[in-house]
Structure 1
Amino acid sequence: MTKLLVILGITGNQGGSVATFFLQKPEWKVRGIARNEKSEACLTWAKKGVEIAQADFNDPATLKDVFAGATAIFVNTNFWDPFYNPAIQSLLAPGQTINDYCFQKEVQQMKNIADVAAKVDGLERLIVSGLCDASKWSNGKYKWVYHFDSKANGIDYLKETYPGLSKKMSVIHMGPYMSNWKGNLRLRKAEDGSIRLVIIKGTQNSLRPQIDINRDTGSLVHAALEAEPGKNIVGTAANLTWPDQFKTWCDMMGLPYGGLDEMSLEEYSKLVPVPGLGREIGEMWLFMDEFGYTGGEENVVLPEDLGVPCLLTSWEDYIRLEDWTDVLAKLK
């Protein structure tokens, strides 16, 4: 009997990876949800065999029909979507930051999704791409990791409001993306020709989970569905310190490793031109260093602990598989 997987956010990195993986599974049919079913990306997925449906996470009425018949649902809400939209600035309340706006938006989206998913007849599993509550687990020390807290608050609402749905759920705490090394990190060429990397002071020795989000999300979701529900799965193929990861990259690129430029949170925040982003990312690194990636979450497991196959991409393989031309050109 064919099973139906509904993917929220088919055009994103995570949703696309899940669709690619499950299209290879004849026992599964894939339905992808997007805001614009006529977009070029959606039309491309339709040609590959994905059933495309249109819905708006901000409008729960649009979710009822697209969830109908689902055996499993994969949920990934997008905190960052409004963050880089200049038009959103006019919607902020007096004194409200864009970070808080994105937080409120994502929490409400998760509530809308939970409200509808709880009423889907025949739904067997729910896999949520989530993160831990950094403010909670740090006892309020780190209050600016909004993109963690928003996902955690939405999941808490689901657990408290729909215990039956919660029993069908597993959460994948997606690690930092390996793809960040292709543009979102600050690399520079020093005067002596060596390559250096900017990090937040005091975080160089902490182990950080890393995942190839485009290649491996599908494998993680499949493993989560094959395993028993109720898990907090760390989406990681490698746990690496900054120096170890950076040295490996430099060695494989044939570049001289120059070390790390450590900055305070305040210095880093000023360095990042996007308002609110520097502090958001800086506090995330500090939280990870002090409290771990999942804070005090219960039932935390690694992919290899699930007892089912879950093939993931190592950091070394990721480096080999990617084209680094643009990154290297900026370091000349």
Structure 2
Amino acid sequence: MAGKRVVVVFGATGAQGGSVAAALLEDGTYAVRAVTRDTSKPAAVKLKKAGAEVVSADLDDEKSLEAALTGAYGAFVVTNAFEGSKKDKEVIQGKLVANLCKRLKLELVVYSGLENVKEITEGKLEVPHFDSKGEVEKYFRHIDCPMTSVRLAFYYENLLHGFKPQRNKDGRTLLLGLPMGDVPLDGISVADLGPAVVTILKSPACYKGKNIGLSAGKLTVEEYAEIMSVITKQMIKDAKILPEDYEQQGGAHNMANMFRFYMMRPDRDVVLTQKLNPKVRNFQQWMEENKKAFRSDSHGHPQ
């Protein structure tokens, strides 16, 4: 790695940071400085074996952040809105990183951002895990720190966990309960983020200062269900619910507001995403690779 410019990757053992670190290591243009709080965890050890410099830093600790960022060309920054109890914690962390990146004169920061929904809707909707990232985006621009925001669409991986199809009362049908009505929902695999970030870092003149909405495709819930049915050979149907139904069934208000915002069709650019990552997978391709995770167990319930 001697002589290579350094890119610092935050959250390197997580989904987003892990995708970026892997793509940077595969590309080989930059030396990778992978940031994690625990350098002994298996994912960190794996990164070190793959050629990354693995360092310990905490988004609440300015001294450790400064050490991690010193001498770097660029950085990929991801913050976690769901960590900690303070609503403004993500904003505080994001601003701290932004100030350091500005002071240490990084040439480009790629920030995993999202829209400030509260600001866009003039207070009609609040989506805290969007709004905080939108506030951090705004701060990067306010202090004139060179930053490109990548705004990911709905993760396909969510369909393996919190939004996996659920068994209907008839015992035969699985229902896909994405509260979007008939409005298409942008989607992408979080694993396809990395190559897009590499492209941005290698072309700062083209992408510096932009907000880039990443999407691999725009499908209705019915279309998602049809693809899942064909590939898994199970009967999967659109549950045909709206955010209001989702809330009445026990869904969180903030998540319902997220889908209300998605129904406003925020800017996610499929063509640009394909340009940034020519190997980005559409939903059908992703499903083919992950169909085993959707197979029913012996009781007929999705795993």
Q: What is the TM-score when the length of structure 1 is the normalising length?
A: 0.82
Mapped pair 1:139 → 2:139 = no
**SS of equivalent to 2:103:** coil
Mapped pair 1:158 → 2:136 = no
Distance of 1:179 and 1:133 partners within structure 2: 23
Distance of 1:188 and 1:309 partners within structure 2: 32
Q: Which residue of 2 aligns with 1:328?
A: 296
Q: Which residue of 1 aligns with 2:184?
A: 207
Q: Which residue of 1 aligns with 2:193?
A: 217
The 1:120–1:301 alpha-carbon spacing in structure 2 relative to 1, beyond 3 Å, is: farther
What do residues 272-318 of structure 1 show as CA deviations (whole Å, max 9, x unaligned)?
4xxxx6112111001110x3234xxxxx7555278655421111111
What amino acid maps onto 2:195 in structure 1?
Answer: S
**SS of equivalent to 2:13:** coil
Correspondence list, 1:303-322, <5 A: 304=272, 310-322=278-290
Q: Which residue of 1 aligns with 2:107?
A: 124
Distance of 2:164 and 2:279 partners within structure 1: 30
Query: Which of 269, 272, 276 is residue 247 of structure 2 equivalent to?
Result: 269
What do residues 94-151 of structure 1 show as CA deviations (whole Å, max 9, x unaligned)?
xxxx5xx2x3110011011011110114x211101100011111121112x1000010
What do residues 254-287 of structure 1 show as CA deviations (whole Å, max 9, x unaligned)?
122433242553x533544xxxx61121110011
Correspondence list, 1:27-42, <5 A: 27-42=29-44
Mapped pair 1:285 → 2:267 = no
Distance of 2:64 and 2:171 partners within structure 1: 58
What do residues 225-248 of structure 1 show as CA deviations (whole Å, max 9, x unaligned)?
223312211111111111111111
Segments of structure 1 that go 5 or more residues without pairing to the other structure are 83-97, 295-299
Q: Which residue of 2 aligns with 1:252?
A: 231
On the 8 A contact 1:208/1:293 being kept in 2, the answer is: no
On the 8 A contact 2:196/2:277 being kept in 1, the answer is: no
The 1:326–1:250 alpha-carbon spacing in structure 2 relative to 1, beyond 3 Å, is: closer
What amino acid maps onto 1:317 in structure 2?
Answer: Q
Q: Which residue of 2 aligns with 1:91?
A: none
On the 8 A contact 2:216/2:273 being kept in 1, the answer is: no
Task: Using the aligned pairs only, state the percent identity.
Answer: 23
Q: Which residue of 2 aligns with 1:169?
A: 147
The 1:158–1:256 alpha-carbon spacing in structure 2 relative to 1, beyond 3 Å, is: same
What do residues 15-54 of structure 1 show as CA deviations (whole Å, max 9, x unaligned)?
1111111112232110011112222321221111110111
Segments of structure 2 that go 5 or more residues without pairing to the other structure are none
Query: Following TM superposition, by how much is the alpha carbon of 1:205 offset from its aligned partner in structure 2, in angstroms?
Result: 1.8
RMSD of equivalent CA atoms:
2.2
Distance of 1:301 and 1:319 partners within structure 2: 21
Distance of 1:314 and 1:129 partners within structure 2: 21
Q: Which residue of 2 aligns with 1:25?
A: 27
What amino acid maps onto 1:154 in structure 2?
Answer: V
The 1:199–1:218 alpha-carbon spacing in structure 2 relative to 1, beyond 3 Å, is: closer
The 1:309–1:187 alpha-carbon spacing in structure 2 relative to 1, beyond 3 Å, is: closer
The 1:187–1:29 alpha-carbon spacing in structure 2 relative to 1, beyond 3 Å, is: same
Q: What is the TM-score when the length of structure 2 is the normalising length?
A: 0.89
Distance of 2:274 and 2:46 partners within structure 1: 33
The 1:264–1:124 alpha-carbon spacing in structure 2 relative to 1, beyond 3 Å, is: closer
Query: Following TM superposition, by how much is the alpha carbon of 1:175 offset from its aligned partner in structure 2, in angstroms?
Result: 0.9
Correspondence list, 1:90-105, <5 A: 98=85, 101=86, 103-105=87-89
